[in-house]
Amino acid sequence: MSETVSLPDARPSFADRLPSSVSWRTLVKIEVVLLGVFPPQLIIGPLGGFGAPARMFELLLLGAWVLCLVLPGQHGLRPCIPVRIVLVMLWVAVLLSAFVMYFHWMPFDELAGTNRFLVTLAGITGLTLVVAEGLKTRDDVIDVGRIAVFAIAYMALVGVLQGQTPIDIAELMKKIPVFVTNMEIQTSGTRGMFTRPAGTALHPIEFGVVVATFLGLAIWLAIYDKRTPRNWRWAALFIVAFAVPISISRSALLVTVVILLFFMTGTTRDLRLKGLAAVGAMLGFVFVAVPGLVGTLRGFIMLGEKDSSVSSRTSDYATVAPFLRESPWVGRGPGTFFPPKFETLDNQYLGTLVEMGIIGLVALLVFLIAPAVLARGARRRTTDDGDRLFGQMLAAGSIGMAVAAVTFDALAFPTFARMAGFMLGLSGAWWMVARESVGEMLPDGRPVTASTAPAPGIASGAATPASGRPKVLTST
């Protein structure tokens, strides 16, 4: 009597088709490239304001993350609890403000502003979670950081060409089929006798701040990344560093000072001396290559209150006082205080106080500062100079963004807002990798306890009990 043998179904289930760890890394790299290459004003016409490539893709990332959350298995993800807590805090503050707002009559345009804010936050949430939980190894984090530096270097190159030559790549991108602009692409402005470029960002201030934010990672890449050809690494650093003064932005210079302070206090003595020499050489190059620029930068920095852009910022405090008295805790609603209907507030923290109150302000501060806490936590868990500096530069970038938010309405600029989420996700992923390397966490994200600790003799990637020293993350 013959026995019938049933073969297993070779077709993978829907859950099996969801992204793995490697494909999550690829998806994040695509999003980072979209953020750096495409101006946010460039959209797919039929989709309207939601048709910006980066926005569409990050919403897809959120959908994929939700599917992986509800379906069995991990699908290349491991939970990063601190990042989830930060995002939950931000969403609670936003939804509480929106909930209270809906109990009052609000004009249609302000309701539409809230809806846009919620969609934007959803996209940032998707990007942040996928970066934090989809990058599971040191190579994942470094590879994404590498791509981010080159994407920002491209943005910087576009800006340098705008400011110093007649070439405007951002303007040429308007000719790509299926793309239209939902607002005029502001590729440049003026300050004094110089053109202020916007690169592929929305505004010259955003351009300068975003480029300066990634200066630290560009420094790390030039010094420690051995997978990228030396010429490419140093060319990326040079373009990013040159774009900062070209932006003619106090905010960008402020971020640069933060980055350099973190670098000088977080690296070796030898690199500190070389860094000081490099700063001097860069200033000399700018002085020679762009005559008058160094003097212009020094002049508008020294103007202080005499500068109209500074005096207008200080006058914002009187503007927001009536709104704060009306609703100090939850504000008037997210996304409802926008120009030209209301005065532009060149201070994101004041804007958040008006829109989401004290609760929203606290949530925003946590959102912007948490990456520095996570990155510094990773730095403390590693002994390799390169890995420690990587964590230091992540912390520097996030603190730089938090400081810059005092000087302009940062969350109104899409590239800044998305890169803030990206920095939170990347810092969270680096923190997880560092914890796993010292045996505080299992590869699946669970903390090491008496019940989950690996049996003696089984390789776990943790520190050996004999030494108790942290494992050095393998250099790339």
pLDDT tens figures, 335-360: 999 888 888 788 999 999 999 999 99
* pLDDT value of residue 302: 73
DSSP string, 186-234: --EEEETTEEEE-TTSSSHHHHHHHHHHTHHHHHHHHHH--SS-HHHHH
* Rounded distance between C-alpha atoms, residue 399 and residue 47, angstroms: 35
Query: At which residue do the structure tokens 């951002």 appear?
Result: 170
Interhelix angle for 348-380 vs 414-437, to 10°?
20
So what's the pLDDT on residue 456?
Answer: 46
Question: In 3D, which of 214, 194, 218 has the Cα closest to residue 204?
Answer: 194
Where does 335-384 have alpha helices with state H? Answer: 348-380
Q: Could you tell me how far CA 7 lies from the centroid of its own chain?
A: 48
* pLDDT per position as a tens digit, 67-110: 988 887 767 789 999 999 999 999 999 999 999 888 888 888 88
AA identity, residue 112: A
**Which residues neighbour 468 within 8 Å (Cβ) at sequence distance 6 or greater?**
none
Closest CA to 440 of 424, 455, 461: 461
pLDDT reported for residue 292: 87
| Most confident segment among 13-27, 239-253, 305-319, 456-470 | 239-253
| Dist. CA 45–CA 230, nearest whole Å | 41
Average pLDDT over residues 318-332: 87
Give pLDDT, residue 142: 97
Four-CA torsion 410, 412, 416, 420, nearest 10 degrees: 80
The tokens for 258 are 């933060």
Q: Among 85-89, 170-174, 221-225, 388-392, which stretch is predicted with the lowest mean pLDDT? A: 170-174
- pLDDT greater at residue 12 or residue 237: 237
How would you classify residue 388: left for phi > 0, otherwise alpha for psi between -120 and 50, otherwise beta?
alpha
Of the candidate ranges 5-9, 84-88, 304-308, the one whose mean pLDDT is the lowest: 5-9
Model pLDDT for residues 170-211, shown as the tens digit of each residue = 888 888 888 888 766 665 566 667 888 999 999 999 999 999
CA-based radius of gyration for the chain: 24
